[in-house]
Amino acid sequence: MGTYGDDGNSLVLRQRLMWRGYDAEIVRITLEDAVPDSCDVYTVGGGEDAAQKLASRHLSASPGLQRAVERGAPVLAICAGMQVFGEWFVVSDGSRAPGLGLLDVTTSPQATRSIGELVVAPQVDGLTQPLTGFENHMGATVLGPDAAPLGRVTSGVGNGVPAGQSVPAGGLGEGVVQGSIIATYMHGPVLARNPELADLLLCRALGVDSLPPVEVPAVERLRRERIAAARR
Ligand code: GLN
């Protein structure tokens, strides 16, 4: 899936590797392809209900991603990707579809669709900067005890709350972290807007503590602009 330009996440990972002198190859998986278990890092994008049901079926019939998660390969899942990784998700016709069970989460509809800028204070070691993204989803994702949020929402809706429920006292959480999987509702693509998150995934893929910094002034400008837009 990559309906909202989320395939840009793999381009960002490859570019940030190439700037540091690494070679990197993107392997695109379609419904015709077996899912390989040998990639160094995986990204799964968002998509509409129909696409996410197909993706869920394919990923469960060809379980290379599950084997990669078992050996601790870093995985980034966006929006519908996050929902598919959960136990189950409810789509717009009200039917419940099975997920892959990689994340201890379930997803059911909110009262209204969330569309707009999202800013998140991360709660993961190694992330110090606010995360910025664009959200567009009907689903609200509820975390079980094995899943932790990626961060707290400072602007926007993030994981949201299912219709009929109220916002918890601690405020809204955003995204999910469980084992080697990081999942979020942030499009953008999220790694183009948040280089710190891109480098966290790359450090984990390479098994290193840090990477030489790369300065991209256009990204810093974009971040400032988007975070200011969220405040307005
Ligand atoms: N179909 C899902 C929802 O609306 C995911 C949408 C998305 O990936 N942006 O909740």
> What's the confidence (pLDDT) of residue 124?
97
Q: What's the structural domain count of the chain?
A: 1
Tell me what percent of the chain is helix, strand and coil, each rounded to the nearest 5: 30, 25, 45
- Is residue 39 annotated as a catalytic residue, yes or no? no
ipTM of this complex: 0.93
> What's the confidence (pLDDT) of residue 45?
97
The answer to whether residue 170 sits within a structural domain is yes
Distance between CA atoms of 231 and 222, rounded to whole angstroms?
Answer: 14
Name the token pair of 82. 């996050």
The answer to whether residue 193 sits within a structural domain is yes
Residue 79: pLDDT band with limits 50, 70, 90:
very high
The answer to whether residue 199 sits within a structural domain is yes
- Is residue 137 annotated as a catalytic residue, yes or no? no
The answer to whether residue 220 sits within a structural domain is yes
138 lines ligand 1 (CB under 6 A): yes
pLDDT of 99 higher than 90: yes
The answer to whether residue 2 sits within a structural domain is no
Mean pLDDT of all residues in 81-91:
97
Give the range of the structural domain holding residue 143, as residue numbers without chain letter.
Answer: 7-230
Give the domain CATH number at 222.
Answer: 3.40.50.880
Closest C-alpha to 130, from 156, 157, 151: 151
- Ligand 1 centre to CA of 154 (Å) is 21
Question: Tokens 């002034």 correspond to what residue?
Answer: 217
48 lines ligand 1 (CB under 6 A): yes
Mean pLDDT of all residues in 35-58:
96
pLDDT of 3 higher than 80: no
Q: Which tens digit of pLDDT belongs to each residue from 156-209?
A: 999 999 999 999 999 999 999 999 999 999 999 999 999 999 999 999 999 999
3-state secondary structure of 143: strand
> What's the confidence (pLDDT) of residue 220?
96
The answer to whether residue 1 sits within a structural domain is no
Residues in the annotated binding site for substrate: 113
> What's the confidence (pLDDT) of residue 232?
84
46 lines ligand 1 (CB under 6 A): yes
> What's the confidence (pLDDT) of residue 135?
97
The DSSP secondary-structure symbol of 4 reads T
- N-term to C-term CA, the chain: 31
pLDDT of 212 higher than 80: yes
3-state secondary structure of 105: strand
How does the average pLDDT of the chain come out, rounded?
Answer: 96
